[in-house]
Structure 1
Amino acid sequence: MTVVNFADDSAPGARTASGGAPSRQQSRQLPRRPFRLRRLARLLPTPAGTPFTFGYGVILLSTALYTDFGDQATVGRLLRESSTDAAHLVEQPLFVLVASALWIAGGIYSFYGVAFLLVVTALERRVGGARAAGVFLLGHVLATLATELPVAGAVAVGRLPEASMHRLDYGISFGLMACVGALSGLLRPRCKWALLGMAGAMCAQDLMELVDPLASWGHPIALLTGLACVPLVRDAAGRKSAAVGRGAAAGRGAVLSADCAVPTPLLPPWLPRQYAPAGAPQEGAAGSMTFRGAGEEPLDGGRAEPVGRAPVEAEAPRHVMGVDDGLHHAHGGEAGPVGVAPRVPGAVPRPRTADGAGEQRRRDADALQAG
């Protein structure tokens, strides 16, 4: 039996005697393995995050395994039929341009397979699957045509023999170089020049060795094609990062509104308010709340009040000397605003006797209205 000392809190990550979390100093000593693992996981393709790279990578892995472990006679025949040499480009250009990009030169142990996963995944996470696929396909097609069509022209004029029309040309290196050029325009200056330096060194080595002249010239052509696509992918990357930023800001705003319990209006300010009869339960009061359609008439002929507002009390009438006492009598003049003292041209005479007070006030009111 092993004796365990529960009072020993010296180990990193140990909990306190009261069962609480470790201190701040102890938490700093804990390794941040989950965070580092997530950073490393973003370098690899996933079905949801990078569907183009993931699906294309599965196809390339299948053909690479078949190249290494399948029947070599069948593999050789398939590679010859998928070759983008000048003869096949003249006979069936679309088929060979697609079929040649389904194989990796060197099989499963090729450097191009690992580079494809890292480079195209990084590009797709920044610009999306459609644009990443477009850059790859554009570099593959343009570099292939730029190297094979001059061969066909040289054979047609007699500068090269007929055998130059038939050669073995397949792989993803042209499309990969185009993605390297496009990705370099989205990285920070230090990473950008490091990536371009490695790609440029590889192209220079191929041109110096010149083992396969067409492939050696096709790689720098594909790299320049990717660099020409930088303005397009940079604009797409900017829009995507802005959309992600707006989504994150909206999420933080929603959480803040939920935490602070900020009420939202029932209707926008430009829509008509809902009305309920005076004396009905108001919003926020105890009991049920009455909801009525916009524009409906108040119930029971009562005075309507906006829902959610306290009822407005009637203002006490103001008495104006010489005017309010005679308003119950009809007259032909235009009534002035209630509660506002009229503009009297002169002093209002006081009533002389009690018997003639009412008659005097009526004459004064008629004179004021007529004036």
Structure 2
Amino acid sequence: MNARSPRGLPARLLRAVLRYPRRSPLTLCYVALLVLGHVWVDGFLSADRADALRAYISTNLDNLHDHPLTALFGSALLYDGTLTDIASTGFVGTLITLGLGICCCLAWAEHRYGKLRATAVLLGGHIGATLITAVVILVALRHGWYPESVRQDSDYGISYGAQTCLAFATLALPRWARLPWAAFVLAWPLSGDGEWPGPLPDFTTVGHLLSAALGFALAGAAAALASRRRRADALAPADAHP
């Protein structure tokens, strides 16, 4: 039977699952940490302590001013979403961010480019988009586009980093699929029920669009670097034997 036939799909999926720990061990550990953290906060902490923890690691303006490192890195260690309510729209976000963004796209980046570069993509999107979004919020507050309460709004989780990984994984696709994938990455943050309090959408939508832009930029840089290396390799024999 052809391994590429639909009947061979279960076998291919099984092989991919069995190879996952060896191909992407860092991603596997990160996913396990996110799941354990989610279960701990939702299942073992009291509601008041869980809310206090989420409020403390939120990357809002007040926390970024008061304890920026704790907010930035703590936010990346706690998943904001549902893992069990599969009938909710929130579970769709789980499938996109945790499922596609982290489990698939970050794992591909780790296998293709190594642990350090994959981590740089994830943290570059998470931290970069958070800080740029903070600047956007400050500008919006100055012009009255956002209410002052946005300074204390809750904003934590992995979605900015996952969005960057989704955009970066454009490199993993054949050329014909890259434009539709890019459209999906940009469109899904706009498909929710977020409000537009002024000329800008809500700040989380802004953050997701910025993190996607960072991912596309990193993908473009990686593609350009690979192209230069291929040209250098192609010219190397001619240089060695004039």
* TM-score computed with the length of structure 1 as normaliser: 0.50
Greater Rg, structure 1 or structure 2? 1
> What residue in structure 1 maps to residue 98 of structure 2?
113
Matched, 1:50 2:35: no
Q: How does 1:7-46 map to 2 (within 5 A)?
A: 36-42=10-16, 46=20
Does the C-alpha gap of structure 1 residues 38 and 69 become closer, same or farther in structure 2, counting only changes over 3 Å? same
Matched, 1:126 2:100: no
CA contact (8 A) 1:210 1:216 kept: no
> What residue in structure 2 maps to residue 224 of structure 1?
213
Matched, 1:63 2:42: no
For residues 214 and 167 of structure 1, the distance between their equivalents in structure 2, rounded to whole angstroms, comes to 10
For residues 226 and 13 of structure 2, the distance between their equivalents in structure 1, rounded to whole angstroms, comes to 20
Does the C-alpha gap of structure 1 residues 34 and 185 become closer, same or farther in structure 2, counting only changes over 3 Å? closer
CA contact (8 A) 2:54 2:156 kept: yes
Does the C-alpha gap of structure 1 residues 33 and 145 become closer, same or farther in structure 2, counting only changes over 3 Å? same
CA contact (8 A) 1:186 1:234 kept: no
- When you count helix as a share of all residues, which structure comes out higher? 2
For residues 181 and 44 of structure 2, the distance between their equivalents in structure 1, rounded to whole angstroms, comes to 35
Give the secondary structure class of the aligned counterpart of 1:46. Answer: helix
For residues 72 and 18 of structure 2, the distance between their equivalents in structure 1, rounded to whole angstroms, comes to 26
Q: How far does residue 89 in structure 1 lie from its aligned partner after superposition?
A: 0.6
Residues 179-188 or 230-239, more deviating? 230-239
> What residue in structure 1 maps to residue 180 of structure 2?
194
Does the C-alpha gap of structure 1 residues 150 and 60 become closer, same or farther in structure 2, counting only changes over 3 Å? same
CA deviation vs aligned residue, 1:91-115 (integer Å, no higher than 9, x gap): 1111111000111121324332222
Q: How does 1:202-241 map to 2 (within 5 A)?
A: 202-206=188-192, 210=196, 213-234=202-223
For residues 139 and 79 of structure 1, the distance between their equivalents in structure 2, rounded to whole angstroms, comes to 20
Amino acid at match of 1:219: H
> What residue in structure 1 maps to residue 60 of structure 2?
85
For residues 43 and 124 of structure 1, the distance between their equivalents in structure 2, rounded to whole angstroms, comes to 15
Does the C-alpha gap of structure 1 residues 209 and 151 become closer, same or farther in structure 2, counting only changes over 3 Å? closer
CA contact (8 A) 2:24 2:108 kept: no
Matched, 1:146 2:132: yes
Q: How does 1:91-110 map to 2 (within 5 A)?
A: 91-109=66-84, 110=94
Amino acid at match of 2:164: A
Does the C-alpha gap of structure 1 residues 37 and 232 become closer, same or farther in structure 2, counting only changes over 3 Å? farther
Q: How far does residue 47 in structure 1 lie from its aligned partner after superposition?
A: 3.5
For residues 62 and 120 of structure 1, the distance between their equivalents in structure 2, rounded to whole angstroms, comes to 19
Structure 2 gaps of 5+ residues are 85-93, 229-242
Q: How does 1:275-294 map to 2 (within 5 A)?
A: none
* TM-score computed with the length of structure 2 as normaliser: 0.74
Q: How far does residue 153 in structure 1 lie from its aligned partner after superposition?
A: 5.2
Does the C-alpha gap of structure 1 residues 53 and 122 become closer, same or farther in structure 2, counting only changes over 3 Å? same
Amino acid at match of 2:170: S
Q: State the structure with bigger RCO (CA 8 A, min sep 6), 1 or 2.
A: 2
Aligned length: 213
CA deviation vs aligned residue, 1:189-213 (integer Å, no higher than 9, x gap): 1332332232122133248755970
Does the C-alpha gap of structure 1 residues 173 and 44 become closer, same or farther in structure 2, counting only changes over 3 Å? farther
Amino acid at match of 1:188: P
Does the C-alpha gap of structure 1 residues 209 and 86 become closer, same or farther in structure 2, counting only changes over 3 Å? closer
CA deviation vs aligned residue, 1:188-245 (integer Å, no higher than 9, x gap): 1133233223212213324875597011111111111011111443477789xxxxxx
* Root-mean-square deviation (Å): 3.4
For residues 118 and 223 of structure 2, the distance between their equivalents in structure 1, rounded to whole angstroms, comes to 12
CA deviation vs aligned residue, 1:149-188 (integer Å, no higher than 9, x gap): 3334555x58465433111100111111111111102321
Does the C-alpha gap of structure 1 residues 236 and 214 become closer, same or farther in structure 2, counting only changes over 3 Å? same
Aligned pair partner of 2:164 in 178, 187, 197: 178
